Amino acid sequence: MEKKNSIKRTFPADAANIFVRNLLCDMSEELGGFKEQDRIKTLKYFEQRCAYTGEKLSEKKTVMDHLISHNRQECGLHLFGNLIPSTREANAAKSNKNFEDFLLKNTSVLGDLDIETRMNRIAKIKNFQAISGYFDKLEKLKNVVNLHDFVKFQYESIYQKVEENKREFSGYLKEQPIDNQVNSNKSATYKDINFKLELWSAKPYLNVHKIIALVLESEGIGKNELINKIQNLDISKNPSGAIASLMSDFGNNYGKVIQEVGGVIDFCPNIKEKINSYKWKVLLS
């Protein structure tokens, strides 16, 4: 039998899911969280038994299961009313399933439990949800934000951020000297300027983003005037050096971005169309 690889890498979805769970925990704490007295009240309501199997629970065997799953699809919160006592086996078998479906259909841990007992346990859990005030807290949250939409947006943001970081790192590697050789007349680097423009346009806090924005909104601006603007807006501590770098094809690992023609600063013809396809803005702080 082929041995499974025990080394598991992480993916963008892993990072995004961890972020979502952390976000749901933070929201839960703002709404009161799940305190020790909540745990005691929960165990008392269920008579120190597993809410699914009815098995008597010891302290070591008790795990608290989220009725509404604590994930980006269901957005269950870590609050009193959404946590019930369970055996480890029942918790694992239920996983992210709806608790009613689990109680009605499961046989792996519930065996041949009769339908009346299953329905009674569903009713007991629903009553617990109702008297706990859990849904009242959700209503309070709805007055502020649509929880599912908010969590979905945050998940996608983190997912995209991880993908962006991957592309950025890939771009850094592409910029390394080719075959460790440097041509005496020109830097022998892979100048992926298109990649850089995409990266810069998405990060308005970068100095180079702000400089490109200034050039775009200041048609016909001269070099010295551009340097003064950069200095006045406190975009760079070394405005002259920043401009010189963008006007040079050496040492900056991405190639020339702007040029001076007839005393006027403009973008190099080979990238002008690409620059105009992105959005740029000047941030004053």
> Of 95, 122, 149, which marks where a domain is finished?
149
For the segment 274-279, the average pLDDT, to the nearest whole number, is 90
138 occurs within a structural domain:
yes
% of the chain residues with pLDDT over 90: 51
Dump pLDDT digits (tens) for 127-145: 999 999 999 999 888 877 8
Q: Is the dihedral of CA 198, 203, 209, 214 positive or negative?
A: positive
CB 269 within 8 A of CB 200: no
User: Domain boundary residue among 86, 121, 149?
Assistant: 149
Question: What pLDDT, on a 0 to 100 scale, did the predictor assign at position 221?
Answer: 93
Q: 119, 149, 179: which is the final residue of a domain?
A: 149
Q: Give a yes or no: residue 27 inside a domain.
A: yes
Residues 78, 200 within the same domain: no
Q: What's the pLDDT score for residue 174? A: 57
Interval 186-203 mean pLDDT: 66
Residue 203 pLDDT greater than 50, yes or no? yes
For residue 47, how many C-alpha atoms fall within 13 Å in the half-sphere facing its CB? 9
More confident call, 71 vs 255: 71
| Residue 39 in this model has a pLDDT that exceeds 90 | yes
Same domain, 204 and 271: yes
Does the structure show a pLDDT above 60 at 2? no
The whole-number pLDDT of residue 29 equals: 94
7-14: long-range contacts (C-beta < 8 A, 24 or more apart)?
12/158, 12/159, 12/162, 12/163, 12/166, 13/159
Q: What's at 276, amino acid-wise? A: N
**Does the pLDDT at position 251 exceed 60?**
no
Q: For the chain, how many structural domains are there in total? A: 2
pTM for the structure as a whole = 0.59
CB 255 within 8 A of CB 191: yes
Residues 31 and 116 in one domain: yes
| Residue 188 DSSP SS3 | coil
Q: Are residues 134 and 247 in the same domain?
A: no
- Looking at 106-174, list the stretches that DSSP marks H as alpha helix, in order from N- to C-terminal side: 115-132, 134-142, 147-174
Cα 168 to Cα 105: distance, rounded to the nearest angstrom: 48
Tens digit of each residue's pLDDT (9 = 90 or more) over 253-269: 567 889 999 999 999 89
> Do 61 and 116 lie in a common domain?
yes
Q: Which of 186, 169, 152, 174 has the alpha carbon at shortest distance from 73?
A: 152
**216 has pLDDT over 80:** yes
Q: What does the mean pLDDT of the chain come to?
A: 85
The proportion of the chain whose per-residue pLDDT surpasses 70, expressed as a percent, equals 86
- Give me the pLDDT at residue 183, please: 43
88 bridge partner residues: none
Domain span including residue 246? 193-285
User: CA–CA distance from 277 to each of 17, 144, 158 (Å)?
Assistant: 32, 36, 24
Task: Please report whether residue 283 resides in a domain.
Answer: yes
Q: Is residue 113 part of a domain?
A: yes
